A = this chain, B = another copy of it.
């Protein structure tokens, strides 16, 4: 174990050829308590990581290895930056070797395995391990994460919607109509991953805007399960994701109806209080307009609360970098918690603007 002063956490990455993979590498290689031990890719076996991702040249010497050669069971923690269904196959073996697991895919996000199977078309391989895992949205679940051996790292959309809604749900007083919540969400193209597919081509996605997944998106049940946990009751959510011609960035516009009995609530103060001690959630002053570039390449999530004409409509604007707070940064935030490190370690880089 690696909690000792100066000792380093041995980290393995499974499937690091995508964007969450290179982002993990960028952040972990600058984390002073991490030792990158191995990274696997069956297809790219032997290729230096820095040849695929030239930003790492001179700083990351690892080569991709097959899982067989990677000795992942000698790591302290393994990140899965893989397609859905990979982590759950390897979890038992790794846990048996006392290796902790942070899965950036969906295997440990949904406690309801029937829902998992419906959306991911796979039976769950290890329901018991799932039951002991923690949903890795730190701001909602810090204590469980500290104790967990397996983390289901949240989806990017769920991170924005859940953090945008948490302050108004689950308090002692009902504040908003939880049967009709609308989340109009917008993502940069890197959210679709590095897979070669027509819809993600520059000439298809650039200078264009469109909705997708209106009839159903896998993040919908994930958000719903967590909202129900927060609210203590089922929540009616309309969720429409859209594709924005930018690389990184995610923006959610959330529409809530304030209940008649809650019209006197000071929502700005409510949000500020809720996140006052959070290092990675910035509730901006009243009237602010967050923008995705203000968090580009950083682990910060910024939000602002609007209530036009002091009416019954509450609007929450949330911006994050989908690859950092929405994926790899959040995974490292989880790792820091699991290993007793300061939660912000390795995650303090300022956003890149312009």
Contacts and interface: CB of A to CB of B under 8 A. Distances in A.
A226 interface: no
Given A55-B293, A186-B242, A244-B245, A214 B317 contact: yes
Interface centre among A184, A194, A207, A290 (most CB of B within 10 A): A207
Interface stretch (A5-13, A36-44, A295-303, A325-333): A295-303
A251 B294 contact: no
Contacts of A96: none
A54 interface: yes
B354 A190 contact: yes
Nearest to A238: B313
Nearest to A251: B209
A290 B201 contact: no
Contact of A190 (B58, B203, B257, B287): B203
Contacts of A210: 251, 289-292, 319
A196 B296 CA distance: 23
A302 B53 CA distance: 14
B214 A240 contact: no
Interface centre among A54, A210, A211, A313 (most CB of B within 10 A): A54
B242 A245 contact: no
A35 interface: no
Contacts of A212: 289
Interface stretch (A86-94, A151-159, A168-176, A344-352): A344-352
Contact of A350 (B26, B182, B216, B354): B26
B353 A53 contact: yes
B208 A55 contact: no
A308 interface: yes
Interface in A200-222: 200-212, 214-216
Contacts of A297: 297, 352
A180 to B, nearest CB: 7
Contacts of A306: 214-215
A235 to B, nearest CB: 13
Interface in A277-327: 282, 284, 287, 289-298, 300, 302, 306, 308, 313, 315, 317, 319, 323
A228 interface: no
A321 to B, nearest CB: 10
Given A189-B203, A201-B194, A238-B255, A292 B209 contact: yes
Contact of A189 (B202, B253, B351): B202
Contacts of A248: 207, 354
A247 interface: yes
B214 A289 contact: yes
Contacts of A244: 209, 244-245
7 contacts: A26-B353, A55-B293, A188-B203, A200-B201, A209-B319, A215-B306, A296-B352
Interface of A: 19, 22, 26, 29-30, 53-59, 180, 182, 184, 186, 188-190, 194, 196-198, 200-212, 214-216, 238, 240, 242, 244-249, 251, 253, 255, 257, 282, 284, 287, 289-298, 300, 302, 306, 308, 313, 315, 317, 319, 323, 348-354
Given A30-B349, A206-B246, A210-B291, 5 more contacts: A54-B291, A190-B354, A204-B354, A210-B319, A211-B251
